[in-house]
A = this chain, B = another copy of it.
Amino acid sequence: MIIIMKTGVERDLIDAVVDRVQELGLSANVIEGEERTIIGVVGLPLPPTLDEMFEVMPGVENVVRVTKKFKLAGWDFHPQKTTITIDDLIIGGDGITIVAGPCSVETEDQTLETARAVAAAGATVLRGGAYKPRTSPYEFRGLGERGLEILARAREETGLKIITEVMTPSDVEIVGQYTDIFQIGARNCQNYLLLEEVGKAMKPVMLKRGLSLLIEEWLLAAEYVMAQGNPDVILCERGIRTFENATRNTLDVSAVPVLQSLSHLPVFIDPSHAAGKRAFVGSLSLAGIAAGADGLMIEVHPSPDHAMSDGAQSLDFVEFAELMPRIGAVTEAVGRGSSVPSTPAI
């Protein structure tokens, strides 16, 4: 950590900071520049709020933390890329994983029909919400456990793995009885008690980025899961909130290489929530793969204009089937393959 003193502060303020550093069992290296003095703080481990502590001392201009606050999610102690294996499905390996399905599980027919369609087109994981967070209390909130049963039936029939959202700690057990992957939604990305609960559950967790979360904060959220012993976290960029409103959110496609430079965890893109309009989902899917994402999560519905949620951004079966070979072409162009050994039967 580096403490930058204000211009021309008196000697005793500098001494006070140095004393405080030493009081904490750390050591201080003082560098006197022409304009300012800076103090390098060395020693381990640094308390997490050490920077705040020094920022308020008289004469201090600024404090810069050198070490990252996340440990388990970073490369330093885990120099291999994380791959997650669920039976024959490998996430984060050489291949690309395509997750597809409806926003909400509405009926058994709708879900099974969609599962068959996305499997036929080459998806290997089925998404579908049984517990839905909705901005308004007056909207459809999901089928609950009945929805989980329907997803399980779809898995049985199609062989797809399933992913579904869990919204609150007390639901982790029931959702964990059915799902292959827990999904933590954007609004719950800093719901720390929920993160810890799925951290104890020992099934892979897909952590969607909060609407205005810094990448470093997102990795700290992943750290919450990992600190409970669960190493299998997938990060999913789904658009951030900016001033631009031509799209529902702004896909931060740069998050893919940025995350890959900071972390060994697999990175997915959700083009559907980013775009908010189905017409842009194809372009964003291809952009995500080209940027290096390990997978995509795409909303697909048998009849988007009758969907109970997110219809505007869902593809229908034909649109999804037409998009998949385009995704395949870009996947190949960036030197990657599919996440399952077998060739999908399109």
List residues of A whose CB falls within 8 A of some B CB.
2, 4, 7-8, 29, 31-36, 38, 40, 42-44, 48-49, 52-53, 55-57, 64, 66-67, 69-70, 76, 133-140, 167-170, 187-188, 190-194, 196, 210-212, 214-217, 220, 223-224, 227, 240-247, 250-258, 261, 274-275, 277-280, 282-284, 286-292, 304-312, 314, 326, 329-330, 332-334
Q: How far is the CA of A210 from the CA of B188 in the complex (A)?
A: 12
User: For A55, what are the chain B residues with a Cβ–Cβ distance below 8 Å?
Assistant: 277, 311-312
**Are B36 and A67 within 8 A (Cβ)?**
yes
Write the chain B residue with the least CB distance to A44. B34
Closest CB of chain B to A257's CB: distance in Å? 4
A56-B280 in contact (CB<8A): no
A-B contact pairs, 25 of them (CB 8 A): A4-B64, A29-B29, A31-B42, A40-B40, A52-B312, A53-B307, A168-B169, A187-B191, A191-B191, A210-B211, A214-B243, A216-B246, A240-B243, A240-B250, A244-B252, A246-B258, A247-B254, A254-B280, A256-B287, A257-B283, A261-B280, A286-B290, A287-B287, A329-B334, A333-B333
Please indicate the chain B residues that have their CB under 8 angstroms from the CB of A215 in the complex: 244, 246
Contact at A170–B169, with CB atoms within 8 Å? Answer: yes
- With A134-B192, A257-B279, A287-B287 in contact, is A242–B242 under 8 Å at CB? yes
By a CB distance below 8 angstroms, the chain B residues around A326 are 334
Decide if B192 touches A334 in the complex (CB within 8 Å).
no
Chain B residue numbers with a CB within 8 Å of A139 are: 48-49
Interface centre among A31, A44, A241, A292 (most CB of B within 10 A): A31
Q: Which residue of chain B lies nearest to A75 when distances are taken between CB atoms in the complex?
A: B7
Beta-carbon contact of B254 and A246 below 8 Å: yes
- Give CA–CA (A191, B223) in the complex, Å: 20
From the candidates B48, B214, B306, name the one contacting A246 in the complex (CB within 8 A): B214
Which residue from chain B places its CB closest to the CB of A36 in the assembled complex?
Answer: B66
CB distance from A25 to the nearest CB of B (A): 13
Closest to A262 in B: B246
* Most chain B Cβ neighbours within 10 Å, of A34, A253, A278: A253
**Contact: B193 with A168, CB < 8 Å?**
yes
Q: Which of B48, B137, B223 contacts A192 (CB 8 A)?
A: B137
* CA A191 to CA B133, docked complex, whole Å: 8
Let me know if A284 and B279 touch, CB within 8 A. no
Tell me which of B66, B254, B257, B277 contacts A38 (CB under 8 A). Answer: B66
Interface contact A253-B287, CB-CB below 8 Å: yes
**Chain B minimum-CB-distance residue to A42:** B33
